[in-house]
Structures are given as structure tokens and as C-alpha cells.
Amino acid sequence: MKIWIDRPFPEVDLGDHDVVGPSEDDMYGADAVVVGGATWDGPMMDRIPGLRVIARTGIGVDAVDLAAATERGIAVTNTPEGPTVSTAEHAIALMFAVGKELPRQQSRLRKATGDYAMLNTAIEFDGLTLGLLAYGRIARRVARIASAVGMRVITHDPFVFADDLADDPASPELVEFEELLAQSDILSLHAPLAADTAGLFDAETFSKCKHGVVFVNASRGGLVDHDALLEALHTGQVSNAGLDVTDPEPLPPDHPLLSRDDVIVTPHTASSTTVGRRRMLDMALDQVTQVLAGDRPTHLVNAELLQPAWNDIEA
């Protein structure tokens, strides 16, 4: 069996499987592909007749045409636990870096403006309210860290109920979306990109946020209208922003977000620590080996796909 990986990879031992890549010249004839965030639509899939599985090294599968994969009998998998630790830590790092105004303070020092202490308007996190949009694996870890430094945590997630949080060490309060906006001193996005979340943070949404909110997005760039974010930064409605994801990615070098000292932008690298990359690769390859062995993978995304060899194990 042939497995193609779309980026340089460490030595892996998969027995009799032939592991190749990242050159697309090696892709033809692959039984499985292990991929990052590149687009996989029907025509792309048709370049590899006999493809059986697309294994995503990460959580989001918005770049994969799930209907096209299902139509072709291709399993699509992800690694929901893979990026959790690294991405949560990165979200916290962005939160603290912009909340403590590190870029702005460094800019003042480089310009030798003087009067540094009096100009410093950084926040103290203890006692502030952190609002989390969606409460999946990454957000839960962010909540635990935030609770440990004395923050109150609230969340809005229509798929989470109070009983789900009974044993949660962060003990977040479930609130409606408008309450999340109004109460959050720091707002961190962890929602997937979908039809009902695309462009969710527009001018109207930012206007409903608490004035001076610290805004963090380590989820998907498409959740945010960046022109609206720029205007909110200009008016002070948003005091500082930390972004690991943008639309487009990467931002062009002349994009106005990159020239501001109240914004930090990283190039969608939150999960890409050395440990995180290896963890996601190992998990993706585990999904591949399950499919190639004729088993239903544990993290099947297109759950409507049925294979005669699979039993009735729940996804």
C-alpha cells in the first residue's frame, strides 16, 4: 500500500506500506494521503484513482469536499486530539502578549519615546472575564489555564449543555452569544468555519462587544471580517488583537493588520510545534492504517460513508 504525505516527514515505520512525498510527482497510485490545510476537491481526488483515505493532520476539514469524497468512497479522517495542547498554549500566548501590550511596549522602546510606565495600559488578567466562542477540546484547555490565573470563564456553544460541564475543572458558565460579547474582557474564538459562522465577527458583532475587548482568534480566519476588525481597533472598541488565522492565509506583507503595534499575527502555526507536528502525523497515520486494514477509522469525518467490510462500531 502506498501512502503520500504532503510535507517533509520524519522516518516512520509502517511495515510493508510505501511512504512517499511531499513531491506531487509521487502522488499517483497512492492508496492514502496525509494532508494539512490544502484544498482537496473532486478534481484533486480524481488525480489519484483508487484513493481510499484522506487523513487530515488537524481538526478542521473545511478544505476537503466531504460530499465529493463520500461520492468516491474515500474516507476522510482528522486528528481531533492532535493540535489541542499546542494550539491552546498558543492562544494563551497571544492573549497574554497582546493583553500585556508587548508589541506596543517594544515599539515605544525602539522609538525611545520615554515615559514608558505612564504610557503602559496593559491589563491584569486576574479577575477578568474570558469568553470562549465554542467549547471543544482546545477551548477547554484554554479555560483550565485561564482559571488557574484567576480568570472567570464563560462560553457560548449551542452544542454544549450544563450537564456536560458538571465535572469541568474550569467550571465555565454557559451564556447566550450576546451575553458572551457584552461580558467578555477577553474574547477567544474556537469555533469551526461553517455556513453559520463565516464572517460572524463583522461590524455589528464588534459593536456589541465590551468596549476595549482583547480579541484572539486561533480557530479559522473566515470567522472574522478583517476590515471590521481594523475599524474596531481604530475606534478602540477592540484594544488589542492576537491572530493565528486570517483570511487570506498568509496575509500579504502590506496588509494593514501587520503594521499595527496593537496586533500580533502568526501564520497559522499554533499547532505546529515540534511535538504537535509529530503527534498529528502519528495520529493521521494511525487512521490510515485502520482504513487500509479494512477497519472503520476511529475519527471518520464523513460518517455517512459505508464500506461493506466495516462493522457497526460507532465513529
Task: Give the sign of the dihedral formed by CA 279, CA 145, CA 244, CA 129.
Answer: positive
Catalytic residue selected from 71, 176, 178, 249: 249
Query: 137 phi and psi, to 5 degrees?
Result: -60, -45
Distance of alpha carbon 249 from alpha carbon 28, whole angstroms: 28
Total residues found in the chain within this entry: 315
Task: Give the sign of the dihedral formed by CA 224, CA 221, CA 46, CA 15.
Answer: negative
C-alpha cell at 99: 493583553
Q: Which amino acid is at 299?
A: H
C-alpha cell at 285: 497515520
Instruction: Give me the residues paired with residue 217 across strands.
Output: 189, 243
Query: 193 phi and psi, to 5 degrees?
Result: -85, 120
Catalytic residue selected from 220, 260, 296, 299: 220
Specify the 3-state DSSP secondary structure of 258.
helix
Task: Give the sign of the dihedral formed by CA 137, CA 139, CA 145, CA 151.
Answer: negative
Distance of alpha carbon 124 from alpha carbon 100, whole angstroms: 8
Catalytic residue selected from 268, 277, 279, 299: 268
Spatial CB neighbours of 243, under 8 Å, sequence gap ≥ 6: 94, 216, 217, 218, 221, 224, 257, 263, 264, 265, 266
The question of whether 255 is a catalytic residue gets the answer no
Q: How far is CA 68 from the centre of its chain?
A: 23
The question of whether 314 is a catalytic residue gets the answer no
Would you tell me how many other CB atoms lie within 10 Å of the CB of residue 121? 11
Contact 100, 122 (CB under 8 A): yes
The question of whether 249 is a catalytic residue gets the answer yes
Q: Which positions are annotated as active-site residues? A: 220, 249, 268
